[in-house]
Structure 1
Amino acid sequence: MTTYVMEFSDVYYTYPGSRSPVLQGVSLGIPEGKKCVLLGRNGCGKSTLFLHANGILQPQKGTVSWRGSAFVYRRSFLQEMTKTIGLVFQDPEHQLIASTVAEDISYGLLNRKLPAEQIRAKVDLMLDAFGLREHADSPIHHLSLGQKRRLALAGVMVMEPELLLLDEPTAYLDRDQTKSLLRRLDHIHANGTTVLMATHDLDIAFEWAEWICVMDTGRILFTGLPETLLANRELLQTLELGLPLIAELWESLPDSLKESWGGRAPRSLAEWKERVRTDPAAFHVSN
């Protein structure tokens, strides 16, 4: 039986001055312990859903629940939830507020009034974990976008959340930076944190996720395994999401080679290379 850390039940929300709701009856459970992706086109409501997930916004209808208990929109409750649910914004400038790297990582810990020695130890751990040690005393405005992204993530993870939410974390990152980020998220997940990433990039979703939710125009259209979504070509075509590049390569292979690989498309280029390495004879397909 699936355990959900967070559930949205028939959630509606309309921004002031807008004629139509951004969230239109969203009902969704986030499975515990999974690498999850919230997939959808820009403007479909992903960011608004995340703002409900940590209590920044309150549903105008419906409920948000954490481990079976509905959110209580009081200051004390919401402050506690910020320790449990970490949100990394798409633009790191929206959450980097201190003068230097080390000060920014320590900000949330200082608000919790932890002992100074404990704060220093936790900050040191994050500086090393996120490759920011040499920038500890650097002004934040001297950092690159990739470094700012790492700092924003470090500032959230120092609070040791049970659920990590990332809004389009790979936006404007190059290929190497994206691969590095995904490795960090794998490490965070392996240490026990449920991770939910919002993205419009189907390649990243198909390669990285264990569970995918598809959203469009404020509604949930699909939840399930990446392979199940890939088989739903009609939905992918309707949303103009296309196919992951690795799946397009798979489609170009002869049926005999697909069968020799068990009839299942690789999830990533790394898996593709591993299959070729361990079964090179499969490519000797007779005409």
Structure 2
Amino acid sequence: MTSWLLEFSDLQYTYPGGQKSVLNGVSFGIPEGKKCVLLGRNGCGKSTLFQHANGILQPRQGEVRWRGKPFVYKRSFLQEMTQKVGLVFQDPEHQLIASTVAEDVSYGLVNRKLPPDTIREKVGKALEAFGMSELAETPIHHLSLGQKRRLALAGVMVLEPELLLLDEPTAYLDRYQTKNLLRELDQIHRSGTTVLMATHDMDIAFEWAEWICVMDGGRLVFAGEPQALLAERQMLESLHLGIPLIAEVWEMLPPSWKREMGEGIPQSLADWKRRLEERKEEVASV
């Protein structure tokens, strides 16, 4: 039985002064301990949903539950949720508020009124974990976009959340920066944090995720494992998401090659390489 860490039930939301509802009865759960992706086109409601996940926004209708218990929209509860559910915005400029790197990472710890020695220790560990120790005293406006993204992530992770939400974290990053970010997210996941990334990049979603949810028009239209999502090709094409490039290449292979490779469509190039190496070893042993 799946253990849901965070659940959304029939969420509906319209921004004040807005004419159109952004969330239209969206319902789904985030499985605990998984690398998850929330997939959907720009404007489908992903960012708005994320702001409901730790109480920044309160739904007009519906319910958000943490470990089965409904959110209570009172100051003490919401302060607790901002620690348990860490949110990294798409634009780090909306999140970085201090003058230097170290000051920004320490901001949440200072608000929790932790002892100065504890704050210094935690900030030092966070900077080291994200490769920013040498930038501790660097003014934030001197950082590159990639460095600002890592700083925003460090500022959230220093609070040790149980769930990490990232809104389009690979936007405007080059291939090298994207690979580094995904490695950092893998490490965060291995440390015990559930991760949910919002993106419209099908290739990243298919390669990285263990569980994928798809939104369209403020509603959930799919939730399941990556391989199961490929069976919904008509839906993916209708949402202009398409299928992963690796799946397109797989479809071009002769049937005999697919049978020899086995195990269905490889989820990544690393998986494909592993299968090829295993096949070479089998042939060599004959």
Under a length normalisation based on structure 1, what TM-score does the superposition of the two structures give? 0.97
Amino acid at match of 2:63: T
What residue identity is the alignment partner of 1:158?
A: V
2:185 — aligned with what? 185
Taking the TM superposition and a 5 Å limit, the aligned residue runs for 1:75-224 are 75-224=75-224
Amino acid at match of 2:267: R
Q: Partner amino acid for 1:157?
A: M
Q: Which runs of 4+ in 1 moved over 4 A?
A: none
The 8 Å contact of residues 41 and 216 in structure 1, kept in 2 or not, is answered as: yes
Q: Which runs of 5+ in 2 are unaligned?
A: none
* 2:48 match: secondary structure: helix
- Unaligned stretches of 5+ in structure 1? none
- 1:17-36 superposed matches below 5 A: 17-36=17-36
Contact 1:257–1:282 at 8 Å: present in 2 too? no
* TM-score under structure 2 length normalisation: 0.97
Query: Is the aligned partner of 1:60 residue 2:37?
Result: no
Question: Matched residues in 2 for 1:123 and 1:234: separation?
Answer: 47
Deviation string, structure 1 residues 238-279 (Cα, Å, up to 9, x no partner): 111111011111011110011111151111112112222232
Q: How big is the shift at 1:18?
A: 2.0
State the secondary structure of the residue aligned to 1:33: coil
Q: Which moved more, 1:63-72 or 1:153-162?
A: 63-72
Q: For 1:234 and 1:98, how far apart are their aligned partners in 2?
A: 47
Aligned to 2:234: 234
**Alpha-carbon distance between aligned partners in 1 of 2:111 and 2:17, rounded to the nearest angstrom:** 35
Distance 1:161 1:16 in 2: 30
Q: Is residue 127–residue 136 contact of structure 1 (8 Å, CA) maintained in 2? A: yes
Shift of 1:17: 2.3
Distance 2:280 2:237 in 1: 33
State how far apart, in whole Å, the 1-side matches of 2:173 and 2:279 are. Answer: 34
Say if 1:2 and 1:31, in contact at 8 Å, map to a contact too.
yes
Task: Please give the alpha-carbon distance, in whole angstroms, between the structure 1 residues aligned to 2:279 and 2:261.
Answer: 9
| Mapped partners of 1:153, 1:255: distance in 2 | 44
Residue 170 of structure 1 aligns to a residue whose secondary structure is: coil
**Preserved contact between residue 261 and residue 276 of structure 2 (Cα < 8 Å):** no
Correspondence for 1:277: 277
Q: Deviation per CA, 1:52-85, whole angstroms, max 9, x where unpaired?
A: 0010100000011111111111111101111100
Give the aligned CA root-mean-square deviation in angstroms: 1.2
Paired position in structure 2 for 1:16: 16
Report percent identity of matched pairs. 71
Q: Distance in 2 between matches of 1:185 and 1:202?
A: 17
> Distance in 2 between the 1:239 and 1:61 partners?
26
Q: Distance in 1 between matches of 2:52 and 2:261?
A: 43
Amino acid paired to 2:172: Y
Determine the structure 2 residue equivalent to 1:267: 267
Question: Is residue 215–residue 222 contact of structure 1 (8 Å, CA) maintained in 2?
Answer: yes
